[in-house]
């Protein structure tokens, strides 16, 4: 993993396959830390990256793959011209209807402890795009 970010160049694609368990969150966080250092990404973008990818992988592990040890979470990173990062996080679950999730800012939902992940990703990433099945999210960040 350490050599992973040593070779980042313009327009490169990198991939991770992670097991559907909580240890994968730490693996992805360590990767992001290395990436931020190598690309000299600012603190604002770093915070948004970490928050969004933590939400995406947590959703993939717990909601998408339901912690099934036989299923993987796939994380791809496309570094585009040293200006933009495009992360894709996909799971092997059935997906969900991302157009019909409750609004976490609605008064009835303010006290709920869950249901904010998609809202957060849409606010913090420069772009947040789900595939039609709802088991893959593409997150864009300018840096």
Q: What is the dihedral of CA 2, 26, 42, 49, to 10 degrees?
A: 120
Pair 89, 127: CB distance under 8 Å: no
The most distant pair of C-alpha atoms in the chain lies apart, rounded to whole Å, by 48
**pLDDT tens-digit readout, 75-132:** 999 999 879 999 999 999 999 998 888 888 888 887 887 778 999 999 999 999 999 9
SS3 call for 25: helix
Cα 135 from Cα 65, distance rounded (Å): 9
Tens digits of per-residue pLDDT, 18-77?
Answer: 999 999 999 999 999 999 998 999 999 999 999 999 999 999 999 999 999 999 999 999
């Amino acid at each position: 993993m350490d050599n992973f970010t040593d070779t980042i160049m313009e327009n490169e694609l990198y991939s991770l396959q992670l097991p559907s368990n909580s240890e994968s969150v730490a693996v992805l966080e360590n990767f992001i830390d290395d990436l931020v250092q190598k690309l000299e990404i600012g603190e604002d973008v770093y915070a948004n990256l970490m928050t969004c990818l933590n939400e995406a992988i947590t959703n993939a592990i717990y909601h998408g793959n339901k912690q099934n040890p036989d299923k993987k979470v796939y994380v791809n990173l496309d570094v585009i011209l040293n200006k933009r990062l495009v992360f894709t996080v996909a799971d092997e679950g059935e997906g969900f209807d991302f157009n019909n999730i409750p609004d976490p800012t609605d008064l009835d939902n303010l006290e709920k402890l869950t249901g904010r992940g998609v809202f957060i990703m849409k606010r913090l990433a420069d772009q947040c795009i789900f595939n039609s099945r709802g088991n893959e999210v593409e997150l864009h960040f300018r840096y």
